[in-house]
Amino acid sequence: MEIILLQDINNLGSKDDIVKVKDGYGRNYLIPQKMAIVANESTKKILAENIKQRAHKEAKLKEEALALAAQMEGKSVTIGAKTSSSGKIFGSVNTIQLAEAINALGFNIDRKQIRLAEDNIKEVGQFTAKIKLHKEVIVDFNFEVVSE
């Protein structure tokens, strides 16, 4: 079954992508949840017109994302956490804490844009996170977790 995505879906595609999915997944989940519509001749024509109209806006958003990526290049943050004597963190460092630290530098980053290599960081050290500013612009951002 071919469908047109109405929003970004992890591991499937971005908004306005035409993708093939299994019939049950499309018919029973994506379409009822208003995440997708069936791709037929008329919806493909409407999609093509919408994409043509949105191309200019997308170019501007990508330029802004590239400018933000250039500003973020070489920056890093330090996150303090309570630790044991062996360097293990009580709890963990997650995307929420990282987003707050990055926003303190003056950037406007949502926690949902951040992907950590590990789900939760549970020890002191240097780490790298990927920040998705645009679907084509992803920045590697270095941060350090230190003991308070």
Tokens (6 digits) for 121: 């960081």
How many CB atoms neighbour CB 102 within 10 A? 23
pLDDT, averaged across the chain: 90
- At 84-121, the pLDDT tens digits run 888 788 888 888 999 999 999 888 899 999 998 877 78
Supply the DSSP symbol for 81: E
Confidence of residue 24 (pLDDT cuts 50, 70, 90): very high
Q: Where exactly are the structural domains of the chain?
A: 2-67, 70-147
pTM: 0.65
| Helix (H) or strand (E) segment spanning residue 119 | none
pLDDT above 70 covers a percentage of the chain that reads 100
Q: How far apart are CA 42 and CA 14, in angstroms?
A: 20
Q: Which residues contact 105 (CB under 8 A, 6 or more apart)?
A: 75, 77
Question: Which listed CATH number (3.40.5.10, 1.10.630.10, 3.40.50.920, 1.20.58.740) goes with 2-67?
Answer: 3.40.5.10
The top-level CATH class assigned to 70-147 is alpha beta
Q: How far apart are CA 59 and CA 40, in angstroms?
A: 27
